[in-house]
């Protein structure tokens, strides 16, 4: 049974959107003027990974983002168009990357020669020079393979690095930290991470080039500002603080059980949650849904906003916007500190940081907000599952969106929300034409 057989012939289908992150909001925004849309969000606030904390700083209250922070002028076409449409303003940000250990023995950043050799001992270490040389080689090799379309999904990053004879220092202290930080992924998992995702993402984002890199931006007033504008510009009914507990599909509609015990019926449902959450909600999940959604798991990360500067590299020259921490004992999680003053316009001298998965190293007195966000874990099986979207979405009154359908970033959420919205609108139009023919 397709989702459009009964409901679309009747009237405009009533659409439920489960999840009020960028994916659900972009779908609701696109559909809201043409269909009756209701958004259910478990949290009291909309935005999901768009999370802004109003911090009481020495120079007054200031917004600081703890989730989504930056986007750029090249790789975020759908998200940028949405911002333009709703009139959300943005300002330049700064993207730079550092790697350091916790006791200050090893620190470097990529922003300048002085930052690269911030630990002066590295000037005379051949292994460090080889690491830098390997970066140039990696960029050239990756670019060549992407341009030639010559990377299959079976090649892991580990396979590629082994075959290329890359040095231990390049692997452990440069490329694994960088990929781990970009995808908030367990550094150990990166050995099975598909090389294709890394190459294509790095190539699209200009990371393989020294010149012509995209210009990074951050939302003026914090990401909550765009979320508020998007809500105001969306013709939908919003229920925040309302978790969906179960979803069952039937001939007459989709039954949605809410946290207050109520059951509501819709014609179509859009899952804009994470893949594992969507699967948990489906009491009548099909084998295809179990296979596809189950192939893209999520991993939980501890996220702390604080003012403890000891989480930044000790040498000022080595401080960057994104600071990756090397650990003697890996934690099966990425360990990175975002230096928010470098990423967002924060007035005053006080430094603010957002640190992932190193909560025990942060002075408890400096902690402002402690949160937990989950990120998708990408594997070869996950890439294959992404290609099966049409097998489970647009079928049986059910549609799936979320950043996990592509690379896991904000643009991917916006793109995936628009993809399901377009499908619903197109299918409705076609059913109208068929009914009047």
Alpha carbon dihedral 365, 368, 369, 375, in 10-degree steps, equals: -90
Binding to ligand FAD by CB under 6 A, coded x per residue (else -) over 41-80, reads xxx----xx-----------------xxxxx---------
396 touching ligand FAD, by CB under 6 A: no
**C-beta of 278: minimal distance to ligand FAD in Å?**
8
Which H/E stretch holds residue 288?
A: helix 287-294
Number of residues that bind ligand FAD (CB under 6 A): 32
* Smallest separation (angstroms) from ligand FAD to the CB of 148: 28
Residue 112 buriedness (CB in 10 A; 0-12 / 13-18 / 19+): exposed
Report in angstroms how near the CB of residue 277 gets to ligand FAD at its nearest: 4
Q: Shortest gap between Cβ of 22 and ligand FAD (angstroms)?
A: 5
Smallest distance, Å, CB 124 to ligand FAD? Answer: 36
Task: Tell whether residue 409 is a contact of ligand FAD (CB under 6 A).
Answer: yes
Q: Under the criterion CB under 6 A, does residue 382 sit at the interface with ligand FAD? A: no
Closest CB 155 distance from ligand FAD, rounded Å: 25
Tell me the two tokens of residue 283: 């009491």
Q: Which residues contact 123 (CB under 8 A, 6 or more apart)?
A: 117
Interaction residues for ligand FAD, span 303-332 (CB under 6 A): 303
CA contacts within 13 A on the Cβ side of 253: 14
Q: One symbol per residue from 241 to 280: x for binding ligand FAD (CB under 6 A), - otherwise; what is it?
A: --xx---------------------------xx---x---
Applying CB under 6 A, among 185, 229, 408, 424 the residue interacting with ligand FAD is 408
| Closest to ligand FAD by CB, 22 or 195 | 22
Binding region for ligand FAD (CB under 6 A) out of 56-64, 124-132, 203-211, 402-410:
402-410
Residue 175, C-beta contacts closer than 8 angstroms, at least 6 positions apart: 135, 138, 157, 161, 166
User: Mask: binding to ligand FAD, 1-30, rule CB under 6 A, as x and -?
Assistant: -----------------xxxxxxx------
402 interacts with ligand FAD by CB under 6 A: yes
What is each CA distance from 256 to 34, 116, 269, 270, 401, in whole angstroms?
Answer: 22, 55, 9, 11, 18
Question: Cα–Cα distances in Å, from 24 out to 2, 222, 401, 415?
Answer: 22, 19, 7, 11
- Mapped onto helix, strand or coil, the DSSP state of residue 55 is strand
Compute the least distance from the CB of residue 71 to ligand FAD, in Å: 5
Inter-CA distances, 264 with 39, 88, 102, 223, 321, Å: 12, 34, 52, 31, 46
- Work out how close the CB of 313 gets to ligand FAD at its nearest, in angstroms, rounded to a whole number: 20
Write the DSSP assignment of 123-145 as a string of letters. Answer: GG-HHHHHHHHHHHHHHHHHHHH
- Enumerate binding residues for ligand FAD (CB under 6 A): 18-24, 40-43, 48-49, 67-71, 243-244, 272-273, 277, 281, 303, 373, 402-403, 408-410, 413
């Amino acid at each position: 049974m397709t989702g459009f057989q009964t409901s679309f012939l009747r009237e405009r289908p009533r659409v439920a959107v489960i999840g009020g992150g960028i994916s659900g909001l972009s779908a609701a925004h696109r559909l809201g003027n043409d269909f009756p849309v209701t958004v259910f969000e478990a949290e009291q606030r909309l935005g999901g990974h768009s999370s802004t904390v109003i911090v009481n700083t020495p120079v007054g209250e200031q917004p600081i983002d703890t989730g989504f922070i930056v986007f750029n002028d090249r790789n975020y076409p759908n998200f940028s168009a949405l911002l333009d449409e709703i009139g959300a303003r943005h300002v330049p940000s700064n993207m730079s990357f550092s790697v350091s250990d916790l006791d200050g023995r090893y620190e470097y950043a990529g922003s300048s020669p002085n930052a690269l050799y911030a630990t002066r001992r590295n000037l005379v270490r051949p292994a460090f020079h080889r690491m830098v040389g390997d970066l140039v080689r990696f960029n050239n090799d990756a670019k060549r393979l992407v341009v030639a379309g010559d990377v299959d999904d079976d090649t892991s990053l580990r396979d590629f690095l082994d075959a290329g004879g890359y040095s231990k220092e390049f692997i452990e202290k440069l490329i694994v930290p960088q990929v781990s930080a970009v995808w908030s992924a367990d550094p150990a998992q990166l050995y099975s991470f598909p090389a294709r995702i890394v190459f294509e993402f790095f190539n699209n984002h200009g990371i393989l080039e020294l010149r012509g890199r995209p210009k990074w931006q951050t939302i003026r007033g914090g990401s909550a500002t765009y979320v508020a504008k998007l809500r105001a510009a969306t013709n939908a009914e919003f229920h925040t603080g309302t978790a969906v507990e179960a979803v069952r599909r039937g001939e007459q509609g989709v039954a949605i059980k809410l946290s207050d015990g109520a059951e509501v019926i819709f014609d179509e449902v859009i899952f804009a949650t994470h893949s594992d959450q969507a699967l948990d909600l489906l009491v009548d999940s099909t084998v295809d849904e179990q296979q596809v959604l189950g192939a893209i798991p999520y991993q939980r990360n501890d996220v702390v906003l604080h003012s403890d500067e000891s989480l930044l590299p000790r040498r000022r020259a080595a401080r960057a916007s994104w600071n990756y921490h090397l650990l003697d004992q890996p934690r099966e999680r990425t360990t990175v500190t975002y230096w928010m003053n470098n990423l967002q316009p924060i007035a005053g001298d006080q430094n603010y940081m957002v640190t992932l998965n190193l909560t025990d190293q942060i002075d408890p007195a400096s902690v402002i907000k402690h949160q937990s966000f989950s990120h998708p874990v990408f594997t070869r099986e996950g890439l294959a599952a992404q290609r099966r979207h049409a097998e489970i979405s647009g079928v049986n009154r059910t549609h799936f969106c979320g950043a996990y359908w592509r690379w896991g970033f904000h643009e991917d959420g916006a793109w995936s929300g628009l993809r399901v919205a377009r499908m619903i609108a197109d299918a409705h139009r076609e059913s109208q034409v068929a009914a009047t023919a």
